[in-house]
Chain A
């Protein structure tokens, strides 16, 4: 199994450009998440999805958009890129936790984005 696959691994954008960060998982996980990681700040939730066709905002959604047309894919769209969006972006997925169990996330390897 590939797990969670993110593409591209690196990208440099100019201010005002747009791009889509791709995320795909092959574990049939219902739950998917996008986080951004900035130095010394931990991981902040951007958007999440609890299943195909259902998405919702996290803590830092401004400047981003998502869609979830299939269980496998959860792309993150950046419109009008700004320097503040320079970060490392991680996609993660998980099963729905059971009554007695907790399931951790499976993370992708990340996309390092620089906006200049």
Chain B
């Protein structure tokens, strides 16, 4: 059972454009939604995160939009740069589970072309 569905699987964006990656979830007990960025040969690194009591969070060129009623959240990368080319993972956590484990989406490979 895939608890966090991520799309698209791959994305090609021109430099300066907007990259949008979407995630959807079913478990209403999820209460923390981070995004991770992974470069080839490296471990994932936390990019930005949001809790369900806010609808949007912005950090520089990266914005998370959160729609609690639709159980969806998305990552927007404004003014995309070639250096943003990486694989992006959305994730969700159910704090009440005790383990605080993250459930990850399958990832989106972003390529930003000059």
Contact = CB atoms under 8 A, between A and B. Distances in A.
Interface of A: 4, 31, 33, 35, 40-43, 45, 48, 50, 56, 58, 90, 92, 94, 96-97, 102, 104-110
A108 B43 contact: yes
Interface of B: 6, 9, 31-32, 34, 36, 41-46, 49, 51, 89, 93, 95, 98-107
Given A42-B105, A43-B89, A50 B43 contact: no
Nearest to B32: A102
A102 B99 contact: no
B49 to A, nearest CB: 6
A104 B104 contact: no
A48 B101 contact: yes
Highest count of chain B CB atoms <10 Å: which of A33, A40, A41, A43 = A43
8 contacts: A42-B6, A42-B89, A94-B100, A96-B100, A97-B95, A105-B44, A107-B43, A110-B41
B112 to A, nearest CB: 20
Contacts of B105: 42
Contacts of A56: 99
A90 B100 contact: no
Nearest first, the 8 closest Cβ-Cβ pairs linking A and B are A107-B43, A104-B46, A102-B32, A42-B106, A42-B104, A43-B104, A109-B43, A104-B34
Contacts of B46: 104-106
Contact of A40 (B100, B102, B106): B106
Contact of B45 (A33, A48, A96, A107): A107
Given A104-B34, A104-B49, A45 B44 contact: no
Contacts of B102: 33, 43, 45, 105
B51 A102 contact: yes
B32 A50 contact: no
Contacts of A96: 100
